[in-house]
Amino acid sequence: MSEAKKDARVANLEKVKAELLARKQELEQEMTTLYQDKFSDDQVQDAGDQALTSVMESLKSSFHDAKLEEYNRIIKALDMIKDGTYGICVDCDNPILEKRLKSFPNATRCLACQEAFENTHHDSI
Ligand SMILES: [Zn+2]
């Protein structure tokens, strides 16, 4: 790898890392807010209100699960940045497309290798 190329990659990584850290903080705040809501609207309710509340609670918890999943992905991605394995396919050593990393920051395989992997590992998702 030429020096210029290496520099460009490091600069890009720093940017990615900053974005991931910002998103991580955002998610932490969103998840904290979710919990605060849950505890603050603890008032006397009639049966209709209670049914609505339980729907809201299950919506909230699935919303929370999605956030937590994204949060875990970001934590993993930050670990991989630290290890220097971020954005590099574990199978073919090629860089993983930025578009793919945007949706899956902790992706460890490029799309082609991921598809090949899934075709040979049907039972593991
Ligand atoms: Zn690959």
| 69 and 12, same domain (yes or no) | yes
- The number of domains in the chain is 2
Q: Are residues 60 and 104 in the same domain?
A: no
User: Ligand 1 centre and the CA of 101: distance in Å?
Assistant: 13
CA of 40 relative to ligand 1 center, distance in Å: 48
Domain hosting 114: range is 89-125
Based on the domain organization, do 65 and 108 belong to the same domain?
Answer: no
CA-to-CA distance for 103 and 111, rounded, in angstroms?
A: 12
- Give the residue from 7, 21, 26, 17 showing the smallest Cα distance to 83: 17
How remote is the CA of residue 107 from the centroid of ligand 1, in Å?
A: 11
**Alpha-carbon span 88 to 80, nearest angstrom:** 10
pLDDT tens per residue across span 11-29: 788 899 999 999 999 999 9
Sequence-separated (6 or more) residues with CB below 8 Å from residue 12: none
Q: Are residues 100 and 81 in the same domain?
A: no
Do residues 82 and 106 both lie within one domain?
no
Name the nearest CA neighbour of 10 among 71, 97, 90, 18. 18
In a shared domain, residues 20 and 48:
yes
0.85 surpassed by pTM: no
Q: Could you tell me the distance, in angstroms and rounded to a whole number, from the CA of residue 105 to the centre of ligand 1?
A: 15
Domain identity same for 82 and 93: no
pLDDT tens-digit readout, 73-116: 999 999 999 999 999 999 999 999 988 998 899 999 999 999 99
Task: For 92, list phi and psi in degrees, rounded to 5.
Answer: -115, 0
Measured in angstroms, how far is the CA atom of residue 117 from the centroid of ligand 1?
Answer: 10
Average of per-residue pLDDT across 44-54: 79
Q: Are residues 8 and 68 in the same domain?
A: yes
Residue with tokens 């600069």: 11
Shared domain check, 111 and 82: no
pLDDT at 78: 96
Averaged pLDDT, 29-52: 74
Q: Are residues 15 and 34 in the same domain?
A: yes
Predicted pLDDT of residue 38: 56
What b/e sequence results for 14-30 when a residue is b if at least 16 CB atoms lie within 10 Å of its CB, and e otherwise?
A: eebeeebeebbeebeee
